[in-house]
Amino acid sequence: MLDGRRDSPPITIALAKGALLPEAIQCLQQVGIDFSRFLDPGNRLLRIESPTRLNGQRYEALLVRTHDVPVYVEYGQAQLGIVGYDILRERYAGSEARVAHLLDLQFGHCRMSVALPQDSPYRSAAQLPAHARVASKFVGCAREYFDRLDLPVELISLHGSVELAPLTGMADAIVDLVATGRTLRENGLIERDCLFESTARLIAHPISYRVNQQPIRELVTQIRERWLGSLLAGG
C-alpha cells in the first residue's frame, strides 16, 4: 500500500537569504531534503520543491529575506522556517511569539552586543548617561535591554552599517550582531556587553504543526539524530 503522503501537498519551509542559507541547506540535505538549487549562482527561483522526499512527504522551500522568515511562518504561507534567534527576538520584542520554536540547529553562532568607541569614557552600557543615543538595526532588542537597565536612551534605527554612527558622532553606542568582532575593531569600537547568544532555529506555524504533526515530528527527529548528532560527534 502506498504512503498516503505521496500525493499530499508539500510542507513549505521558509529559508533565509544570506549567511545562514548554506548550512540550512546542508542540514536539510542530511535528512534527505534537497534545496541545493538555491546555491546555484544562476538560480533566480524563489520557490522550489525538493526532488527527494522524507518518508514519502514532499517538501518545498521559499527563499526570503531574513527578517521575513517568521512573517511567512506566522501567517501560514510556510509551515516551517529556519531563522536566527536574533530575528525572532527582534520580531517579538515586547510581545508573545506567534511561532513555535522546535529546535536549536547549532549553527550561525553570533551574539547581540553593545559596542562603544575605544576612546569612550564609558566601559559598559550601564555607565552611559541618561538619554544617550544608541544606534541599532535591532531597536526592539535594544529597547528591551535598556529598559531592564532602567536607563532611558534615544534609539536610532538604522538599516545599514551601524558602526558609522559613533564614527560620525551620531550615536554614543551601538547594539548589533557580533561574530568575530573584527568589523568592530576595524572601526574603532569595543564590544562591552552581550545581550544574548544567537543561533539558527527551526520554527513552525502552531496550527500547521498540529495538522502536519507526524511528518514534522519525523523531520525534527531526523534533524536531531543526523544533523545535531553529527555536530556532537564532531562530524
For the stretch 187-211, pLDDT in tens is: 999 999 999 999 999 999 999 888 8
CA distances from 100 to 50, 67, 167 (A): 23, 16, 40
Computed over every residue of the chain, the mean pLDDT equals 94
Q: How many residues does the chain have?
A: 235
**CATH number of domain containing 211:** 3.40.190.10
- Structural domain containing residue 168: 110-197
pLDDT of 156 strictly over 60 = yes
116, 224: one domain: no
Q: How many structural domains comprise the chain?
A: 2
Q: Give the angle 198-199-203 at the CA atoms, nearest 5°.
A: 110
pLDDT of 2 strictly over 60 = no
At 68-95, the pLDDT tens digits run: 999 999 999 999 999 999 999 999 998 9
Q: Which of 8-12, 29-33, 47-51 has the lowest mean pLDDT?
A: 8-12
pLDDT > 70 fraction of the chain, expressed in percent and rounded: 97
Question: What cell numbers appear for 67 in the block?
Answer: 527578517
Q: What are phi and psi of 115, to 5 degrees?
A: -125, 140
Q: CB–CB of 206/102 below 8 Å?
A: no
103, 208: one domain: yes
70, 42: one domain: yes
117: left (phi over 0), alpha (psi -120 to 50) or beta: beta
pLDDT number for residue 208 = 86
Could you tell me the pTM of the whole model?
A: 0.92
pLDDT > 90 fraction of the chain, expressed in percent and rounded: 90
178, 134: one domain: yes
DSSP string, 110-161: EEEEEEEETT-S-SSGGGSPTTEEEEES-HHHHHHHHHHTT--EEEEE-SS-
What is the Cα–Cα distance from 35 to 5, expressed in whole angstroms?
A: 20
pLDDT of 179 strictly over 60 = yes
DSSP bridge pairs for 47: 62
Q: CB–CB of 226/30 below 8 Å?
A: yes
90, 130: one domain: no
175, 206: one domain: no
